[in-house]
Amino acid sequence: MSDLARPIDPKLDLVEEIARLKKERNAVVLAHYYQDADIQDVADFLGDSLQLAQAAAKTTADVICFAGVHFMAETAKLLNPDKIVVLPDLDAGCSLADGCPADRFAAWKAKHPGAYTISYINCSAEVKALSDVIVTSSNAAKIVATVPRDREILFAPDKNLGRWIAKTLDRPMTLWQGSCIVHETFSERKLVGLIERHPDAEVIAHPECEEQVLRHAAFIGSTTALLKYAIASPKKSFIVATEAGILHQMEKEAKKLGVEKELIPAPPEANCACNDCPFMKMNSLEKLYLSLRDLQPRLELPAHLMETARAPIERMLALS
């Protein structure tokens, strides 16, 4: 149903209404750091992809409102087939998931018989169902390291994360050639200029960034790892190469602890806001309110797909 068909009373205080609806519905709001600040501020739990999957696996709520993108809400549904899972905007996709259709993935797999298939959580339920195990940026190295060295590994869909893990572990992997439209937007040329102007700043980067950006990073990690590193580090200034939404939580944490941090977003090549994920930013506080009010739009998946796609996620959770 379109938003026009679901009008919102303009006098409503959405933050209060969301709090009321959460209680009334016994709902939990899980949010990723790339969401707008106002969404992060109403969330019950904020985290990186692994922490959000773990929170979804543990929740006792009847309704999960997932403020993130489709594959994240889908993962929550796979882990909670009997719960209602809503996503404020069902069209919030992901370039990595979209760039790895299940039929092409299956054909790729068929060309590598006997290989162990590891998929980044940023993929569809259909691709998950065809995978041996799922990983996120925070546990990929640990899980890849469990695979016997003589076994070929297929890693999909993010070539940048795959290349970084392969290099870190000195473990060759056959990589699907996908990438994130946000993390490939950072310009090495502009980054170098920024480093020159801020000689005391440390570059911290998400492993979805391209190699030429990662090579300038003092620290590489998942969104939660970047947040923890920036806050715990004695350094004061950071150039942050990931989606800009994480800066809100870094600023909040720093303020809470009374530590001073200068947080500089890494520059995209074009003069644009392309370090904002257009998919993550499809959600809004209004849509989140509507999703709790109407319990729509819901994630629904066929039962047989949920069965097959759940197993590799549970394998990941057990190994994490």
Q: What is the closest distance, in whole angstroms, from the C-beta atom of residue 89 to ligand SF4 in the complex?
A: 13
Q: Which is nearer to ligand 13P, 164 or 289 (CB)?
A: 164
Q: Map the footprint of ligand SF4 across residues 245-274, applying CB under 6 A.
A: none
Residue 283: contacted member of ligand 13P, ligand SF4, none (CB under 5 to 8 Å, by partner type) = none
Distance CA 132, CA 313 (A): 9
Distance CA 150, CA 69 (A): 36
Q: What is the closest distance, in whole angstroms, from the C-beta atom of residue 180 to ligand SF4 in the complex?
A: 3
Q: Quote the Cα angle for 307-312-318, to 5°.
A: 115
Residue 279: contacted member of ligand 13P, ligand SF4, none (CB under 5 to 8 Å, by partner type) = ligand SF4
Q: Which residues bind ligand 13P (CB under 6 A)?
A: 48-49, 122, 136-138, 180, 206, 208, 222-223
Say how many Å lie between the first and final Cα of the chain, rounded: 38
The three-class DSSP label of residue 76 is helix
Q: 262 with 236: CB under 8 angstroms?
A: yes
Residue 87: contacted member of ligand 13P, ligand SF4, none (CB under 5 to 8 Å, by partner type) = none
Kindly state the number of chain residues that form the binding site for ligand SF4, as judged by CB under 6 A.
14
Chain centroid to CA 248: 16
Nearest to 39 by CA among 20, 9, 65: 65
Q: Map the footprint of ligand SF4 across residues 6-35, applying CB under 6 A.
A: 34
Q: Which is nearer to ligand 13P, 115 or 178 (CB)?
A: 178
Q: What is the closest distance, in whole angstroms, from the C-beta atom of residue 123 to ligand 13P in the complex?
A: 11
Q: 237 with 202: CB under 8 angstroms?
A: yes
Distance CA 315, CA 202 (A): 35
Q: What is the closest distance, in whole angstroms, from the C-beta atom of residue 151 to ligand 13P in the complex?
A: 25
Q: 254 with 279: CB under 8 angstroms?
A: no
* Number of other CB atoms surrounding residue 121 within 10 Å: 26
Residue 222: contacted member of ligand 13P, ligand SF4, none (CB under 5 to 8 Å, by partner type) = ligand 13P
Q: What is the closest distance, in whole angstroms, from the C-beta atom of residue 124 to ligand 13P in the complex?
A: 14
Residue 254: contacted member of ligand 13P, ligand SF4, none (CB under 5 to 8 Å, by partner type) = none
Mark 272-291 with x for binding to ligand SF4 (rule: CB under 6 A) and - for no binding. Answer: -----x-xx-----------
Q: Map the footprint of ligand SF4 across residues 172-191, applying CB under 6 A.
A: 180-182
Distance CA 66, CA 53 (A): 11
Q: Which is nearer to ligand SF4, 55 or 115 (CB)?
A: 55
Chain centroid to CA 258: 28
Q: 227 with 249: CB under 8 angstroms?
A: yes
Q: Map the footprint of ligand SF4 across residues 84-103, applying CB under 6 A.
A: 94-96
Q: What is the closest distance, in whole angstroms, from the C-beta atom of residue 145 to ligand 13P in the complex?
A: 18
- Written as one string, the DSSP assignment of 201-242 is PEEEE-TTS-HHHHTT-SEE--HHHHHHHHHHSS--EEEEES
Residue 181: contacted member of ligand SF4, ligand 13P, none (CB under 5 to 8 Å, by partner type) = ligand SF4
Residue 115: contacted member of ligand SF4, ligand 13P, none (CB under 5 to 8 Å, by partner type) = none
Name the site residues for ligand SF4 (rule: CB under 6 A): 34, 69, 94-96, 122, 180-182, 208, 243, 277, 279-280
